[in-house]
Structure 1
């Protein structure tokens, strides 16, 4: 028996390959669901393309939260910084074009981050109180500025004039080849082709920037002396100060970068091809969902990307296909719960396996008793998924040790 277990451990999957295997498993579950329910929108290229656009603002906001919280500053004000970013992007983009819109969103969001840094780092204001105040300030300030500047042009104080967007492009050959495979309607192959096809179709520089910032954030925060000092400020600021680290400067830098990234999330909303402009309340809680994606990812860039993709996918699915597709997603969730239960059984973890199985049975019972998810619930599917994911992931989270802890210069002296 010992020999068998030793061989099993020697055949364990390398760490770098696990995300790819998990992704393939999820595609297989979706492919089975499509075959059994007939809801082809679950794996269509259109759904994947919509998911990318909807995940972008969440990704930017989550990266902003990552930078701030790795330095020990809770940034619940991401929502307000995104709101400032949408207005700044619309104002700059209307005058100078889409690239200026990105810069405008970045600058306005960074100003919100600077205000949060002054409040929390310099004056030791409670991080939650400061974040809520910045969100309220962002909502009120953008409403005032929109009435002052946009209303004479658009004749509507709630929205800006239409902006010029980026030209969309596809990856040559790859996009057309995947589209051809998707149309063949082969189980798993066409499903995989549809999902991958949506990732290489209708791209813009904003999409490329969002994807690029994930590895850049990892390299800066985990592979540079600056990143090491910044994370030390979030783990043990007193110890970092005794080693000569300027903790205050690193916290300021982190929160300003955090605001700038959240502002880019607002710019991504303003430059969305379906919107192209500022619209009051268009952020719609995505700053909070970005924060949830960061927590789901355990304060790591790769996990954050996965969380953003999940929330963007659910949002895109409910927008394109409504309650019937979300209803089919319950079936997929049942299959996933069974797989998770089997994996726990293989590890001889009986309690988690039983909980996963019971959860799957409850979801399947819900799927069996209703024919479609009501529109009211389908609309809020991303928020419901956010709550569910955080509840499931809460047991494995490891936030920075000094997150939210007050710090005063000289404590390590």
Structure 2
């Protein structure tokens, strides 16, 4: 049960959580809570599959990221510009995305809850490593988005700690007034953080619909946007920690899919990954330190 196939399955299931959690880091490091990640994933799922059906998977992925960013822009305008409560705005995004996607699916495909089958990206095989029996399921004929998800971890760590953009983003999330005093455009950095989070949520949605199932099905995100937020908190707003949390959820989900027993109802087995997420989050949330100004509306010239 714990062989390479199990590990490969866990990684595939962890990818959307990892990508979305990394996106959440950008948003919350800028001081904006993004509860709307689930809705942005839904938008990415449908838009990616719909565009891929007509124009291919590459166009579908770009369209999914654009759709996620557009919904993120709505959230940014509401929460940053108009200073709407960020939780309320995020919940509204989730509801709006669900309604827009259902209406669009019905209008385009005459089906409210699904889309036709689409082509996925060409699979990638790492030469040499694929010849090793234990590694073969991990590096042979896998989605390139899996490699991209794990490359996002060191890239985001580098951006946050070694670049001017990342340091400014973090300063805005910690003390926006001090950042503004030093000449940082606080509003611009917040918009950038939220838009990046939306684009990455859209990308993870495209992974689900184009790479994982090769079609959009209503409800396919299964709350992964909220799981990604939990992974981010578990990881203490750090990409490496978020990755490990995502892998933990992926492993639990893969295990639940492989456990078949008549003694335990199937519904209870499906609950295991989510229960594990709650338990782990409850144990680590007190040790985590969120950005000091996260969730606090900011107005130019005023202390957060």
TM-score (norm 2): 0.96
Cα deviation digits, residues 356-404 of structure 1 (max 9, x gap): xxxxxxxxxxxxxxx9543221111111111011011123101101110
**1:395 and 2:286 are equivalent in the alignment:** yes
Displacement after TM superposition at 1:197 (Å) = 4.7
Paired position in structure 1 for 2:273: 382
Cα contact 2:123–2:142 (8 A) shared by 1:
yes
SS in 1 for 2:18: helix
Cα contact 1:49–1:201 (8 A) shared by 2:
no
Q: How does 1:25-40 map to 2 (within 5 A)?
A: none
**1:140 and 2:77 are equivalent in the alignment:** no
Matched length? 303
Paired position in structure 2 for 1:162: 117
Paired position in structure 1 for 2:220: 282
Q: CA RMSD in A?
A: 1.5
Q: Give, in whole Å, the separation in 1 of the partners of 2:193 and 2:91.
A: 19
TM-score (norm 1): 0.71
Q: Give, in whole Å, the separation in 2 of the partners of 1:305 and 1:373.
A: 30
> Cα–Cα, structure 1 residues 159 and 408, in superposed 2: closer, same or farther, change >3 Å?
same
Displacement after TM superposition at 1:222 (Å) = 1.3
Paired position in structure 1 for 2:235: 297
Cα contact 1:163–1:276 (8 A) shared by 2:
yes
> Cα–Cα, structure 1 residues 197 and 310, in superposed 2: closer, same or farther, change >3 Å?
farther
Q: Give, in whole Å, the separation in 2 of the partners of 1:72 and 1:62.
A: 15
Paired position in structure 1 for 2:246: 308
Displacement after TM superposition at 1:64 (Å) = 1.2
Structure having the larger proportion of residues in helix? 1
Cα contact 2:124–2:144 (8 A) shared by 1:
no
Q: Which runs of 5+ in 1 are unaligned?
A: 1-40, 180-192, 325-370
**1:406 and 2:300 are equivalent in the alignment:** no
**1:322 and 2:264 are equivalent in the alignment:** no
Q: Give, in whole Å, the separation in 2 of the partners of 1:220 and 1:213.
A: 10
Paired position in structure 1 for 2:81: 122
Q: Give, in whole Å, the separation in 1 of the partners of 2:192 and 2:93.
A: 18
Displacement after TM superposition at 1:96 (Å) = 1.4
Displacement after TM superposition at 1:167 (Å) = 2.4
> Cα–Cα, structure 1 residues 372 and 67, in superposed 2: closer, same or farther, change >3 Å?
farther
Cα contact 1:91–1:104 (8 A) shared by 2:
no
Q: How does 1:227-246 map to 2 (within 5 A)?
A: 227-246=166-185
Cα deviation digits, residues 153-186 of structure 1 (max 9, x gap): xxx3211111111222332332332x2xxxxxxx
Paired position in structure 2 for 1:30: none
SS in 1 for 2:211: coil
Q: Which runs of 5+ in 2 are unaligned?
A: none
